């Protein structure tokens, strides 16, 4: 990345900037497998203005809140110790017994073993709710009221949220200082990748398209790529709001709603759910899962055992695809690389976007970023906050014309993809007058049409009844844009922010 761009990062994002040195960081965190957003949270506490790290202070903190040997936690609790841990934990509210339970899967503490007392909950009302959380918790073993059994009690809790709120106006003002090419490089560096390691803007954009499900609700994406292109890292390390499914068995109860436990599944509690190595995942009762997915992918709702389930979670399916010597798919039928249970046109047509992962470089040491960039925790909060900013959808409606006979799925797909690109690449656009139409067409509208078009074409190969032609979309002339559109959106913007 160019020196001038790095300098802009340090100027515009000074409180959120961090110096990344992978070789040093990997050594500091050796033996502790932590996602990037946790590492950056810790590094920010011990990094100086010149980028140097207080190694001893950081190591002491790690030793205190993240045991080097996870197997020792239960033994220490059993010995009567009170432990303070920075960890991922899961909450389940037992309405029948009037208990808030928690489990720490990574440490072997089951959800029926942990309890959150009322005083801790009252101090953090609205935060200790069903689902996965990250935080610094203090736990100890206490006897139950009847004295017959013990339980693990959470005696204190500090939310893992260094940025309690994100100022979108701050982001917009900062973004306006960068050119589009500079901003693309900034986004890549925030993902911990070196922009100079990509051969072209096409490669960079293919890579950044993975972030669309971070910013746009209920966007459903398929990516087929060769191994080693960083799929697992992006979806497992950059945000605490997502869930990565890597192999194993998947049930309808795990995804949507568990009737026996009366507990929502992972789709309910996350911004996105990504299925990595889809060919290795075993979907139990595939017919039931497929029926639930069809309904959910279409409307964000489905019915599970007479319970209506709804969510804004996007779904990402990632799989490997065999390539020839020119790194292009061996077959023009891309979806043949998916498991048999997913090769149904009616299901696949409900996905909006396709990522051609064969354009991406294999991850190597030279592509890992070293230098100043936006820290991952702030970056993930920005992406999460952008999900609910509706100004970009209004801008799309004001700016884009389309065939009135356009298929509803095609229109919705193109709009969601284009709006996602606007949030990601041009968050400083808040009125029609702000928009560079050439940039909008190049980076938002045309990629959206093309990525939805690939889905349609591949569905046609499965079922010839599916048409391959996309509806016609165009950018309206100035005379056709409502003169009040920009003003009305300005009012909306002021009301929202």
pLDDT on residue 481: 66
Give the integer Cα–Cα distance in Å for 154 and 92. Answer: 14
Q: What is the pTM of this model?
A: 0.88
Question: What's the mean pLDDT in 65-91?
Answer: 88
Report for 176-180, 300-304, 491-495: range of highest mean pLDDT: 176-180
3-state helix, strand, coil in the chain (%, to 5): 45, 25, 30
Lowest mean pLDDT among 40-44, 87-91, 98-102, 268-272: 40-44
| C-alpha distances in Å from residue 138, one per residue of 65, 119, 134, 408 | 9, 14, 13, 51
pLDDT on residue 29: 85
Report phi then psi at 138, rounded to 5: -110, 125
pLDDT on residue 313: 95
Lowest mean pLDDT among 126-130, 151-155, 408-412: 126-130
Lowest mean pLDDT among 301-310, 363-372, 479-488: 479-488
CA angle, 152 then 158 then 161, to 5°: 130
Task: Label residue 257 by pLDDT band (50, 70, 90).
Answer: confident
Per the model's pLDDT, the better-predicted residue between 39 and 388 turns out to be 388
pLDDT at 25 over 50: yes
190, burial (CB in 10 Å: exposed 0-12, middle 13-18, buried 19+): buried
- Give the DSSP H/E element, type plus range, for residue 264: strand 263-264
Question: What's the mean pLDDT in 209-222?
Answer: 97
pLDDT at 24 over 70: yes
Task: Label residue 436 by pLDDT band (50, 70, 90).
Answer: very high
Lowest mean pLDDT among 177-186, 264-273, 381-390: 264-273
Task: Label residue 344 by pLDDT band (50, 70, 90).
Answer: very high
Domain locations in the chain?
Answer: 72-159, 389-496
pLDDT on residue 69: 77
Question: What's the mean pLDDT in 11-20?
Answer: 91
Beta-strand runs (E) in 396-482? 400-402, 473-475
Helices and strands (H, E) in the chain, number of each type: 20, 18
Nearest to 232 by CA among 218, 216, 246, 249: 246
Nearest to 186 by CA among 386, 28, 11: 11
pLDDT on residue 166: 85
* pLDDT, the chain, mean: 89
One DSSP character per residue, 349-375 reads TT--EEEEGGGSPPP-GGGB--EEEE-
Torsion of CA 334, 335, 340, 342, to 10 degrees: 160
Tell me if 361 sits within 8 A of 198, measured CB to CB. yes
């Amino acid at each position: 990345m160019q020196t001038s761009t790095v300098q802009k990062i340090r100027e515009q994002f000074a409180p959120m900037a961090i110096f990344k040195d992978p070789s040093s960081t990997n050594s500091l965190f050796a033996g502790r497998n932590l996602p990037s957003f946790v590492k950056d949270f810790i590094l920010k506490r011990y990094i100086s203005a010149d980028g140097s790290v207080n190694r001893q202070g950081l190591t002491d903190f790690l030793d205190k809140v993240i045991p080097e040997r996870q197997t020792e936690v239960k033994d220490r609790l059993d010995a009567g110790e009170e432990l303070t841990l920075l960890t991922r934990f899961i909450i389940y509210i037992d309405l029948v017994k009037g208990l808030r339970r928690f489990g720490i899967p990574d440490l072997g503490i089951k959800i029926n073993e942990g309890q959150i007392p009322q005083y801790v909950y009252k101090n953090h009302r609205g935060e200790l709710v069903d689902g996965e959380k990250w935080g610094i918790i203090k736990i100890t073993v206490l006897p139950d009221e009847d004295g017959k059994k013990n339980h693990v009690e959470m005696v204190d809790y500090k939310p893992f949220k260094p940025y309690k709120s994100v100022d979108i106006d701050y982001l917009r003002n900062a973004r306006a200082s960068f050119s589009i090419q500079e901003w693309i490089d900034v986004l890549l560096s925030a993902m911990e990748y070196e922009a100079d390691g990509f051969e072209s803007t096409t490669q960079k954009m293919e890579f950044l398209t993975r972030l669309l499900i971070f910013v746009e609700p209920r966007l459903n994406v398929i990516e087929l790529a060769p191994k080693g292109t960083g799929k697992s890292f992006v979806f497992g390390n950059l945000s605490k709001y997502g869930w990565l499914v890597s192999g194993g068995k998947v049930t309808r109860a795990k995804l949507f709603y568990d009737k026996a436990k009366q507990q929502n599944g992972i789709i309910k509690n996350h911004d996105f759910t990504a299925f990595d190595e889809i060919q290795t995942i075993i979907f139990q009762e595939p017919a039931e899962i497929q029926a639930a997915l069809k309904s959910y992918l279409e409307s964000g709702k489905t019915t599970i055992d007479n319970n209506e389930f709804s969510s804004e979670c996007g779904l990402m399916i990632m799989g490997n695809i065999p390539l020839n010597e020119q790194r292009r798919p061996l077959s023009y039928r891309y979806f043949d690389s998916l498991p048999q249970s997913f090769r149904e046109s009616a299901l696949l047509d409900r996905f909006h976007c396709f990522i051609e992962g064969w354009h991406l470089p294999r991850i190597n040491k030279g592509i890992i970023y070293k230098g100043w960039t936006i820290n991952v925790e702030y970056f993930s909060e920005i992406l999460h906050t952008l999900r609910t900013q509706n100004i970009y959808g209004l801008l799309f409606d004001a700016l884009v014309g389309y065939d009135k006979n356009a298929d509803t799925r095609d229109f919705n797909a193109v709009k969601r993809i284009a709006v996602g690109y606007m949030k990601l690449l041009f968050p400083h656009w808040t009125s029609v007058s702000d928009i560079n139409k050439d940039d909008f067409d190049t980076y938002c509208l045309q990629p959206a049409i093309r990525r939805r078009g690939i889905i349609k074409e591949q569905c046609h190969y499965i079922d010839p009844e599916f048409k391959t032609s996309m509806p016609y979309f165009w950018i309206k002339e100035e005379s056709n844009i409502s003169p009040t559109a920009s003003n009305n959106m300005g009012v909306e913007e002021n009301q929202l922010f």
